[in-house]
Amino acid sequence: PPQPFQPPLGHPCRAWSSLTSTQLKPCCTQPGIPRGGFSFENCQRNAFLESSLKGLRVPRARKTGTTIVGLVFEDGVILGSDTRSTNDSVVADKNCEKIHFIAPNIYYQGHIGASLIVGGVDITGPHLYSVHPHGSYSHLLFTAMGSGQGPAISVLEDRFKPNMTLEEGQQLVVEAVTAGILDDLGSGSNVDVCVITQAGVKIQRAVSTPAVVSKRQGKYGYPEGTTAVMKETVTPLALEMIEETVQTMEVE
């Protein structure tokens, strides 16, 4: 068998493994041996490094998902999503695609490391799964995930029924995503729908646009004196800048 790899002196993994050799194996042992599934053996090590090395910036989970939904109908699976891409309070893209191809009969929504909805059809029939960032999954008849999950799942729970027709299922998906768009500030723009059956896949972009920006009908400028000023009081304020925070946007 391959010999365990010893980290060099000064490497944080070496210090951690020597301190807790009875509790946790070093993270660098036996390189090159693949292991299936999810591994959480570095959680304690990361917590130790974060508490020991002051100023260490550990990676944080990225939150880029907004509203994605899916349901099983009589002939297959219907997936739906909004089209707004956000980075914190910045709208990065107003019309992005969130339904992506995996295989001829499988599509997924979301991004690896975020919440996923995986739907497809095989010889046993339609299947729908929700996959959480920490690795757990559920086999469901309908589901919703993302920041607009709450209002979307409430619509699905209220109106879903087994063996829905294509028209009923597609309308319900559109209404669920619309609920997420209208309730969640991160969700927005259009509703995309993907229908997966034994016959193939059909993607429909911008099936619905729930919140259309209205255009100004005319000029709203009023001449000075239109509204009478009854009383005016000016109070000077002494302001002191305590802290200035600048938000940067990641473009990669």
Tokens of 207: 């099936």
Catalytic residue among 20, 22, 66, 227: 66
20 assigned to active site? no
Beta bridge partner(s), residue 201: 196
Q: Is the CB of residue 208 less than 8 Å from the CB of residue 131?
A: no
Going by C-alpha positions, the residue among 200, 202, 204 that lies closest to residue 190 is: 204
Q: Residue 153: how many CB atoms within 10 A of its CB?
A: 19
Residue 212 is given by DSSP the state P
Backbone angles phi, psi at 102, to 5 degrees: -115, -55
Strands (E), 57-199: 68-73, 76-82, 85-87, 90-93, 99-103, 106-109, 116-122, 125-131, 137-139, 142-145, 191-197
Q: Is the CB of residue 179 less than 8 Å from the CB of residue 195?
A: no
Active site residues per annotation:
66
